């Protein structure tokens, strides 16, 4: 296991290795903090599941966090990052709700039904946010039913802090003016619900819409992927750079293809194949991934670059960062090819 080594250079890392380019990561955090300073960003930890990364986000002034699982909430609190945690997701798990209710700082939990509210009340949760459906067919109460749920929560003695409404269906709209228009329409639904619900928080947004909330009424953006990025979001031309990749080693070379040791058990594949770049920076086209292998063309095409040999290192760039992070125990931070940090991915599980 990676835990037993102490590599000095990225070439010493056992592969597959999850690697973060520390300088790029710093730049991404700075760009986001300049757009959404302090509490205007509630970073979503689901994108990285790593308290070391959350601590870096906190050092940029973002002290409130968004979580997707009770495990993330409890792990963040244990790491001293529990000042204001939002579980932006529904649960009726009594054991996990009670564990969150027992934390030093009160946790805020999203509710979208009488059942999720009842479960929160029974477990001793004190604060809720009304989760509103703004068009993504996932969680969220209908906008015109949000006020009733808020009244019910208050009558049960809970503090209703406001609303959230994640416009996930609009993250990848590539036409920016169409995206802005549709985000505004979705947030009009959230504002309508907020007028009935009350409270101070109007929480929404993600990396793909991070800069479209100037006039939507949203007062905290829940972006997470921006810190590390992936090729999926990379297509949008956002001001964030690719900071994470999976380092691999070429283990076999055929006549037209080569094989490295980064398979679909080291990569989130739901957004498609990853990109692959040789050590000299020249890209190669990916043929396919299997459990423990990635098969790619040896031909560098017009970008040049020689045929790989066994032992060469490759950078495999994930199409979806969130599930990729969740597949690794540790991320190695590299600056100028020196390994400067080892960050456990310590918020995995549920």
Ligand X SMILES: Cc1ncc(COP(=O)(O)O)c(C=O)c1O
Residues near ligand X (CB under 6 A) are: 44, 47, 66, 88, 166, 168, 171, 206-208, 222-226
Whose Cβ is closer to ligand X: residue 81's or residue 110's?
A: 110
DSSP-assigned beta bridge partners for residue 159? 127
CA distances from 113 to 90, 130, 150, 204 (A): 9, 9, 10, 19
Select from 47, 197, 63, 42 the least CA-distant residue to 117: 197
Whose Cβ is closer to ligand X: residue 51's or residue 66's?
A: 66
Whose Cβ is closer to ligand X: residue 71's or residue 313's?
A: 71
CB 252 within 8 A of CB 316: no
Dist. CA 256–CA 219, nearest whole Å: 53
Select from 212, 205, 209, 240 the least CA-distant residue to 226: 240
Dist. CA 60–CA 37, nearest whole Å: 8
DSSP 165-189: ---GGGTT--SHHHHHHHHHHHHHH
CB of 179 to ligand X, least distance (A): 13
CB of 101 to ligand X, least distance (A): 21
CB of 327 to ligand X, least distance (A): 16
Which stretch of DSSP H or E encloses residue 332? strand 330-335
Residue 175: CB atoms within 10 A of its CB come to 9
CB of 35 to ligand X, least distance (A): 13
Whose Cβ is closer to ligand X: residue 75's or residue 224's?
A: 224
Whose Cβ is closer to ligand X: residue 206's or residue 308's?
A: 206
Phi, psi of 6 (to 5 degrees): -135, 70
CB of 261 to ligand X, least distance (A): 27
CB of 139 to ligand X, least distance (A): 8
Whose Cβ is closer to ligand X: residue 21's or residue 112's?
A: 112
Whose Cβ is closer to ligand X: residue 15's or residue 69's?
A: 69
CB of 218 to ligand X, least distance (A): 11
Residue nearest ligand X by beta-carbon distance: 206
């Amino acid at each position: 296991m990676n835990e037993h080594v102490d590599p000095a250079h990225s070439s010493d890392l056992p592969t597959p290795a999850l690697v973060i380019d520390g300088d790029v990561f710093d730049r991404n955090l700075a760009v986001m903090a300049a757009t959404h300073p302090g509490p205007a960003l509630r970073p979503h930890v689901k994108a990285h599941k790593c308290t070391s990364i959350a601590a870096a986000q906190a050092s940029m002034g973002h002290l409130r966090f968004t979580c997707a699982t009770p495990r993330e909430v409890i792990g963040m609190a244990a790491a001293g990052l529990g000042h204001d945690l939002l579980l932006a997701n529904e649960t009726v798990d009594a054991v996990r709700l009670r564990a969150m209710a027992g934390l030093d700082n009160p946790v805020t939990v999203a509710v979208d039904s009488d059942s999720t509210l009842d479960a929160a009340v029974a477990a001793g949760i004190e604060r809720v946010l009304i989760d509103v459906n703004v068009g993504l067919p996932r969680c969220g109460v209908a906008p015109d039913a949000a006020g009733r749920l808020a009244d019910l929560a208050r009558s049960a003695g809970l503090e209703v802090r406001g609303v959230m409404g994640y416009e996930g269906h609009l993250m990848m709209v590539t036409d920016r003016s169409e995206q802005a228009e549709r985000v505004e329409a979705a947030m009009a639904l959230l504002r309508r619900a907020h007028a009935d619900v009350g409270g101070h928080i109007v929480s929404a947004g993600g990396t793909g819409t991070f800069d479209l909330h100037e006039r939507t009424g949203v007062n905290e953006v829940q972006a997470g992927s921006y810190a590390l990025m992936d090729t999926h979001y990379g297509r949008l031309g956002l001001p964030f750079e690719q900071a994470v990749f999976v380092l691999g080693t070429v283990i076999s070379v055929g006549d037209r293809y080569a094989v490295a040791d980064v398979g679909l058990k080291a990569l989130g594949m739901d957004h498609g194949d990853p990109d692959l770049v040789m050590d000299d920076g020249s890209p190669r086209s990916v043929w396919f991934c299997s459990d423990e292998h990635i098969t790619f063309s040896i031909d560098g095409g017009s970008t040049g670059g020689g045929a790989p040999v066994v032992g060469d290192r490759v950078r495999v760039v994930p199409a979806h960062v969130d599930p990729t992070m969740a597949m690794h125990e540790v991320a190695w931070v590299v600056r100028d090819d020196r390994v400067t940090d080892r960050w456990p991915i310590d918020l995995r599980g549920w």
